[in-house]
Amino acid sequence: MEITVQEFKHCDMITVKGRVDSATAPQLAQALEAANEGGKYKLVINMSELEYMSSAGFRALLAAQRNSKRYNRGEVVMVSVPDRIREALELAGFTELFKTFDDSLSAVGHF
Amino acid sequence: MKNVQFSAKFEFLDEIREFVGDIARDGGFGGKDVYNIQLATDEAASNIIEHAYEGVADGILELSCGMKADAIKIVLIDHGEPFDPASIPMPDLKADLSERKIGGLGIFLMRKLMDEVRYESHPETNSNTLTMIKHKR
């Protein structure tokens, strides 16, 4: 798994590549916490190069969404979610908790 | 059935997914089903590592997998604390963000993704067996 952070004027885009499971999810959680601690609460998670995500990854996303939405200071949105990951997120009832976008331009433009 | 043993550590989840993925693919499952079989096995193995072997540094996870007729059978055996998935309440998937609990989600996914999930605890041999079956559609 590889994480890159790109800063935009009104949000940060966090691109997650590779596979997120119980071994790598702590790294994702850490990156999301670091963003929040740096005062960044408007976050776009770019999943275009994400191959796999288990519930350990879902847990990291949920924690970040909860923290970001507090006091209406922001939110976490997802972009380019691969079909299989989207299906698992749907099964887990997570798609209702996150806005999703098809391309990064509209995701960044949301903020 | 092919058998393999793993040290019960998260770093081997990649290999665990590959092991069942190869058998599922060779057995004729499509890409989507292969992904879901890998996800269910990952969730099962993660639970064992996290809960059955909580605080245990040298736990062993035995994994058996094979095709039988139109179905794949996956058996995970551990020698840790008994941990019955059926005792975990189903997560409330309609709960608000603030009330959403993440616990039990892995087990929920296993049940949704596989056709059969069975758990047996054998105190006499100090082992627990989790069996999952999925049929080809």
Query: How many Å lie between the alpha carbon of B118 and the closest alpha carbon of chain A?
Result: 20
Contact list, B102 vs chain A (CB under 8 Å): 55, 58-59, 62
Q: What percent of chain A has pLDDT over 70?
A: 100
**By the 8 A CB rule, do A52 and A87 touch?**
no
A21-73: pLDDT as tens digits: 999 999 999 999 999 999 999 999 999 999 999 999 999 999 999 999 999 99
Provide the residue count of chain A. Answer: 111
- For position B91, what pLDDT does the model report? 79
Contact list, A62 vs chain B (CB under 8 Å): 97, 100, 102
Contact list, A54 vs chain B (CB under 8 Å): 13, 39, 42-43, 46, 106
Task: Quickly count helices (H) and strands (E) in chain B.
Answer: 3, 5
**By the 8 A CB rule, do A21 and A54 touch?**
yes
Query: How many Å lie between the alpha carbon of B70 and the closest alpha carbon of chain A?
Result: 22
Which residue in the block uniquely carries the two structure tokens 């062993």? B60
Q: Measured in whole angstroms, how far is the alpha carbon of residue A93 from the centre of its chain?
A: 15
**By the 8 A CB rule, do A100 and A76 touch?**
no
- For position B103, what pLDDT does the model report? 72
ipTM metric = 0.95
B50-80: pLDDT as tens digits: 999 999 999 999 999 999 999 999 999 999 9
Considering the entire predicted model, what is its pTM? 0.95
Query: How far is residue A42's CA from residue B96's CA, in Å, rounded to a whole number?
Result: 20
Q: How many CA atoms lie within 13 A of A29 on its CB side?
A: 15
- For position B102, what pLDDT does the model report? 67
